[in-house]
Amino acid sequence: MSDHFRKKVHYEDIIATFDDILIQPGYTNFEPNDVDISSKLGSYRFNLPIMTAAMDTVTEEIMAIKMALLGGLGVLHRNCSYERQLEMVRIVKRTRSFIIVDVATITPDDPITNAKFMMENYNISGLVVVNDENKVCGILTKRDMPYSENDIKNGKVKEYMTKNVISIEPGASREEALNKLFKHRIEKLPVIENGRLKGLITKKDLAPEFPLASMDEDGHLICALALSPKFPESLRAQNMLKEIDKYVDIFFIDVADFYKIADIEGTKKLMNLLESDFVLGNIGTYEAAEYIISQCDFAEDKFIGLKVGMGSGSICTTSIQTGVGAPTLFATAQVADAIKDYKSELSLIADGGFKNPGDIPKALTAGADLIMSGHFFAGCTESPGYIDTLQGQKVKVYRGMGSKEARTSGFISDRYIEGSKILAEGISAYIPYVGDLDGVILSLKEGLINGMVYAGARKIEAMKNVKIGVITPFGRQEVRTHDLMGKY
């Protein structure tokens, strides 16, 4: 080995990933039911420390809603127009809440066709009817809609709406609202003060069907969206982002390598323009985290987390194509050290490279607070795209955001090296269909909880103190199924 190589490579720079380590068993003095897998990101607390990746074959509104209901977070992708992004965040934010403030309304003189369009477009089952002074005149639900196509075509809202509106006043409790909904056998309860509409309560939003759901202070689902670090120069684009900002809790800066001056400066401008919180990434080294934490002067009240891992995804080829990368376990350990050394309150998200449920506790042991994956979820029913059949097996398409197919869409050309149109840094392939998200999440949760039990850690914070060890190739062979007949 040359002296030059020895100077370049140090023991602490050995780049390890999940299959290179094992968590050492620890002493356990608690039961599995005592394990707490909740974690926080800024002011938000998640009962499930798992996120779905901001990829166009993984997370759109259906996945984001289901992930939030199950206690995690689905980060909506940005490989689409601002108009489509606005549509997605509005649907997520309106899905579950104690009181809906942004109520869908219509006037008495509007045609029924307008009401039908709004219900279908906004994915809602009813509209509050108000006059020009925002005073409630009635309510129109799908049950009030006429059956005849001719009546739909020519009818007015006032001809079919329910005029005797059962309502509730502002400040009423959840229990009072439930009692009134049950008493009158209705599903929607307008909040009215002095005749004017102040909000809407729906039966489904009060039902404790998802007790672990990720919600904001107002009872809305937490909504997250990927965002380019490039500041839009056009006034129209800036105004669209401001409109999107009204529905988003957390923006995730979505770029392969954030440790670039152009991305850092662009993000500062975005933070000044928008009100929501920010997670920055991706990065992969101690030096990158150190610089971002200590030198960049990001708004402390908005900068809540770092996302780490470069070139780790199962459909990512960045490290192969460029020779540069930071596998997720290595990146997590590096950035966790920087966060600890600078006594930062930032949360750390380990992104990509996960193959098995046991990789999640390994990431937490390296210093992560939450994990993000596309591979686990691309084959779910809730992911975008249709279920196909390949050689008798049900499959779905899964593509990297650096793939040729994704990069030529015209919306995320700036996620990788801008201007590089030929070099693809990802692939498009099939992944087995795995069924509903609930089953996948159950498997991941059990793997995480059991891993914490074996490690002797009751909480995620305690996982950061458990011991790990590097495993040899023969050790890796031994911990896998082996010496059996057939293929495994």
- The catalytic site residues sit at 316, 415
Query: Which ranges of 2-49 would DSSP assign to H, the alpha helix?
Result: 3-8
CA–CA separation, 47 and 65 (whole Å): 15
Residues 104 and 122 sit within 8 Å (Cβ to Cβ): yes
The total of other beta-carbon atoms located within 10 Å of residue 164's CB is 6
| Alpha-carbon distances, residue 161 vs 26, 150, 476 (angstroms) | 64, 17, 67
Q: At what angle do helices 286-295 and 328-341 cross, to 10 degrees?
A: 40
CA–CA separation, 260 and 264 (whole Å): 6
Residues 265 and 293 sit within 8 Å (Cβ to Cβ): no
Element at 87 (helix H, strand E) = helix 82-95
Residues 280 and 267 sit within 8 Å (Cβ to Cβ): yes
Name the residue type at position 357: P
Residue 283 is encoded by which pair of tokens? 């990065």
C-alpha dihedral over 348, 351, 355, 357, to 10 degrees?
A: 30
Longest dimension (CA), the chain: 87
Residue in 301, 303, 302 with CA at minimum distance from that of residue 293? 303
Query: Which ranges of 366-479 would DSSP assign to H, the alpha helix?
Result: 404-407, 437-455, 460-463, 473-479
C-alpha dihedral over 330, 332, 334, 336, to 10 degrees?
A: -160
Question: Residue 370: beta bridge partners?
Answer: 349
Residues 52 and 192 sit within 8 Å (Cβ to Cβ): no
CA–CA separation, 369 and 356 (whole Å): 18
Q: What is the DSSP letter of 407?
A: H
